[in-house]
Chains A and B, each alone.
Chain A
Amino acid sequence: GQQVMQIPQYQHVQEGEDFTTYCNSSTTLSNIQWYKQRPGGHPVFLIQLVKSGEVKKQKRLTFQFGEAKKNSSLHITATQTTDVGTYFCAGTPGTSYGKLTFGQGTILTVHP
């Protein structure tokens, strides 16, 4: 079945440093979504990418979808303590609406 892998598993940064997490799928995806989960919380939708090679920005966050639609990345510029949490990518194969396959997540810790 479809697998979604994320690296790194953990990332510790000093406040102000940049952060990147990478996501790779074993199969081509129709779209990829990114979620953030704060400690003790639930996943919160950040963004969805649909087109091959798509790049989207949200303030300090930049999201990319690979040309082959099998990989993606999330880059945070100048991290802040509010960025702490686990970042998940989640992919949908074909037209299986909502049947997301999540990666195992990258846990981001930001030291002030």
Chain B
Amino acid sequence: ETGVTQSPTHLIKTRGQQVTLRCSSQSGHNTVSWYQQALGQGPQFIFQYYREEENGRGNFPPRFSGLQFPNYSSELNVNALELDDSALYLCASSLEGVEEQYFGPGTRLTVT
């Protein structure tokens, strides 16, 4: 196990609602990245947080936003949920300057 935890494990939401997903990084890791993994696909980079600031963003609309807290834990917020947002959301922690990513178990989001 990596030491990266995510909550909740599963979530069912209705189209148009808002959702917040949480991630606790591995001890000592100051960088958190979020990925969306649709069924049968590779993870897609959403954004990365380093020292509480967004440090790069993938091709996702502004309704995907995030936060990083002083203890390096992080949140992913998605507004105005769409059916296509149904996916496994993974967070990964890493140490500044080190490429290896430690993934959490993910949150399975279903939008109906």
Known A1-B59, A103-B42, A104-B42: A98·B103 in contact at CB below 8 Å: no
The answer on a CB contact under 8 Å between A99 and B48 is yes
Q: Which of B10-18, B70-78, B93-101 contacts A (4 or more CB under 8 A)?
A: B93-101
Known A42-B105, A45-B102, A97-B96: A102·B90 in contact at CB below 8 Å: no
Q: Produce 1/0 per residue, A47-91, CB < 8 A to B.
A: 010000000000000000000000000000000000000001010
Q: What DSSP secondary structure best describes chain B's contact surface?
A: loop
CB interface residues, A 4-38, toward B, < 8 Å: 4, 6, 31, 33, 35
Q: Which of A1, A96, A98, A101 contacts B101 (CB 8 A)?
A: A98
Known A97-B31, A100-B45, A102-B44: A31·B103 in contact at CB below 8 Å: no
Interface size class of B (residues with CB under 8 A): 20 to 34
The answer on a CB contact under 8 Å between A102 and B59 is no
The answer on a CB contact under 8 Å between A43 and B94 is no
Q: Which of A42, A48, A98 contacts B31 (CB 8 A)?
A: A98
B56 at interface, CB cutoff 8 A: yes
Known A1-B59, A43-B90: A92·B99 in contact at CB below 8 Å: yes
A56–B12 Cα gap in the complex (Å)? Answer: 42
A90 surroundings in chain B (CB, below 8 A): 42-43
The answer on a CB contact under 8 Å between A42 and B58 is no
Known A33-B99, A92-B99: A97·B104 in contact at CB below 8 Å: no
Interface residues, chain B, with chain A CB atoms under 8 Å away:
2, 31, 33, 35, 40-45, 48, 56, 58-59, 90, 92, 94, 96-106
- Sample 17 A-B pairs with CB under 8 A, ordered by A number: A1-B59, A6-B42, A33-B101, A43-B101, A45-B100, A48-B99, A48-B100, A90-B42, A98-B31, A98-B99, A99-B45, A99-B48, A100-B33, A100-B45, A104-B41, A105-B41, A105-B42
Smallest CB-CB A-B distances: 7 pairs: A102-B42, A42-B103, A99-B56, A43-B103, A104-B42, A98-B33, A102-B43
